[in-house]
Chains A and B, each alone.
Chain A
Amino acid sequence: MLNQLTISELSHRLAKREVSSREATQACLDHIQRIDTQLHAFLSFMAEDALAQADAADREFASAAAPRPLLGIPVAIKDVIAVRNQPLNCGSKILGNFISPYDATVIRKLKEAGAVVFGRLNMDEFAMGSSTENSAFGPTRNPWDLSRVPGGSSGGTAAAVAADECIAALGSDTGGSVRQPASFCGCVGLKPTYGRVSRFGLVAYASSLDQIGPMTKSVADSARMLHAISGWDEHDSTSVPEAVPDYNQLLEGGIKGLKLGLPKEYLVGGLDPEVSQATMAAVKQLQQLGAEIVEISLPHTDYAVATYYIIATAEASANLARFDGVRYCSRVPGADPIEMYGKTRGAGFGPEVKRRIILGTYVLSSGYYDAYYLRAQKVRTLIRQDFLQAFEKVDALITPTAPTAAFKAGEKIDDPLQMYLCDIFTLSCNLAGICGLSLPCGFTSNPKLPIGIQLLGRHFGEATLLKIAHAYEQSTPWHREKPPLATPPAAQP
């Protein structure tokens, strides 16, 4: 089954011309056809367009001496990143029949690397949520247990990768939206350092926190995707002109002598016992691989959720002002523009987006700005300093990705604060602007659900994270396990 391969495996077989990109792309499309009515990871895909890209790749394989790094690899895209001539809805009703007029920079780069860019992956509306239940097009389910959520907001992306509906995919991460679903579905999710990857063509949720990141079946694939999409971009003034190392070449070499910090604030109340056990087992494994484990402290951890939700909602309320029915959106007519904006936005946005816009507007409003927004920005400084101080002592931090494995659909949907607390281990990384990676580190026993471990690294420390993750992955079996839904019916026991 070609759709089950990693980028490295498929690339290798394509280069030897054992298989074609058309066959691999068709395998993904067939698998989507077979299982996606149950999973609902994809909002849409254009089969003919994907196969035409695959054919072009196959022609290049026939003629070119050195294939481009992602040539012929089917890569699916979260519905928040613009792909020219494809729909863009951000999991929302408000955009109606929007078709992207241009490619995001990451898409241009994926195409330049030769990838077959296809499909629109489901997500929480405007990336606001931790379960993909906030999609206006209905929820995505967890491929390990269809009664559970895949995490969010990149839940469709994580589910599609874990269930082998594509070879790799791109998500976006504002407070954990790549890493938390990667942990819930059992794949590798990387949030790059703020500014590492261009945000041009990513629909903004919270501009000072958003980053696009790869979701893959292996750490080596994550390195390859990151290498393809990274770098300064004239279209994003917050992208950073820092050299992009060849992450693929820096994976090997082991982790002997690296110092890993275990933040004591992350191993306290609310942590599921099985998650805690899997985390400690992973720590032990890394120790056996030669890493030195040091307990460290991030004293302002307890304030991260409040800080994050003030800053993120404030930025969201400003960013989402553009969805007003003037240049795009399903317009609801009004007697004057003000009425038109209010009606268009009232009809188009779902409940969580409304909640966050109202919250964000409130914390920025006259009389409350200092008490909420300014204070949160100051606490953000403290949180950032915690990490800078920790990285003076250690090379990376190791934590659980989420306090629990995937929870049941419907369990937290009516309790927004409980839902926000799901992100407790992931959102500090965005506030500090550092990089983070989640990878599989075990399973719960009954039901069997993936557990993820998170590595956090210095600004532009992705190579170190990938090296640690690769060493761990190569010495553990977790990444080889497939969810029941990914297995073809004939092969099921």
Chain B
Amino acid sequence: MAADEIDINYVANLARLQLTPAEAEKLKPQLGQILHYFHKLDQLDVSRIEPTAHAMPRVNVMRPDQVTASLSQPDALRNAPAQINGLFMVPKIVE
């Protein structure tokens, strides 16, 4: 199977990553080559194999529902690019 044609700008938008035209130009052949390499996996029959998401699977990891100390507000806001009234400030979302 040949590598799929990758629409860089479409994927970059999904990733919320603005690329310059020069970056997109350079990435396109590199990604094509890497995706082509990924198709090596097509050689294997995996139709009856279960997927592995974690090497040490643990299920239903619970903790007691107790209130404990968390990051203080000043600590949480310490690295905020913009803040107002003790909150993170972002550009307007709704008109």
Contact = CB atoms under 8 A, between A and B. Distances in A.
Contacts of B49: 378-379, 381-382
B62 to A, nearest CB: 9
Chain B CB within 10 Å — which of A237, A343, A378 has the most? A378
A358 B19 CA distance: 10
A432 B15 CA distance: 28
A64 B52 CA distance: 49
A376 B53 CA distance: 10
Interface in B4-44: 4, 6, 8, 11-20, 23, 26-27, 30-31, 33-35, 37-38, 40-44
A11 interface: no
Contacts of B30: 355, 416-417
A335 B91 contact: yes
Interface string A293-311: 0000000101101110110
A97 B26 CA distance: 30
A345 interface: yes
A384 B52 contact: yes
A34 to B, nearest CB: 33
A273 interface: no
Interface size class of B (residues with CB under 8 A): 35 or more
B79 A98 contact: yes
B44 A379 contact: yes
Contacts of B40: 302-303, 306
A357 interface: yes
A337 B90 contact: yes
A300 B44 CA distance: 9
A369 to B, nearest CB: 11
Contacts of A193: 56
A342 B12 CA distance: 9
A361 B14 contact: yes
Nearest to A383: B52
Contact of B15 (A317, A329, A376): A317
B31 A359 contact: yes
B88 A381 contact: no
A239 B80 CA distance: 30
A326 B16 CA distance: 13
Contact of A346 (B17, B80, B88): B17
Nearest to A336: B91
A378 B51 contact: yes
B34 A309 contact: yes
A331 interface: yes
Interface in A323-366: 324-331, 333-343, 345-347, 349, 351, 354-355, 357-359, 361-363, 365
Contacts of A416: 30, 34
A254 to B, nearest CB: 30
Contact of B78 (A99, A362, A380): A99
A108 to B, nearest CB: 14
Contact of B17 (A97, A334, A358, A459): A358
B76 to A, nearest CB: 7
A343 B76 contact: no
Contacts of A327: 76, 79-80, 88
Interface of B: 4, 6, 8, 11-20, 23, 26-27, 30-31, 33-35, 37-38, 40-44, 46, 49-56, 58, 61, 63, 71, 75-76, 78-82, 88, 90-93
26 contacts: A99-B78, A101-B78, A102-B71, A194-B55, A238-B56, A300-B44, A303-B40, A303-B44, A306-B40, A321-B16, A327-B88, A337-B91, A349-B17, A351-B26, A354-B23, A355-B31, A357-B15, A358-B11, A361-B15, A362-B11, A362-B31, A382-B46, A382-B49, A417-B33, A417-B34, A431-B55
Query: What 8 A-B pairs are tightest by C-beta distance, nearest first?
Result: A433-B55, A346-B18, A377-B51, A331-B81, A342-B18, A101-B75, A378-B46, A328-B79
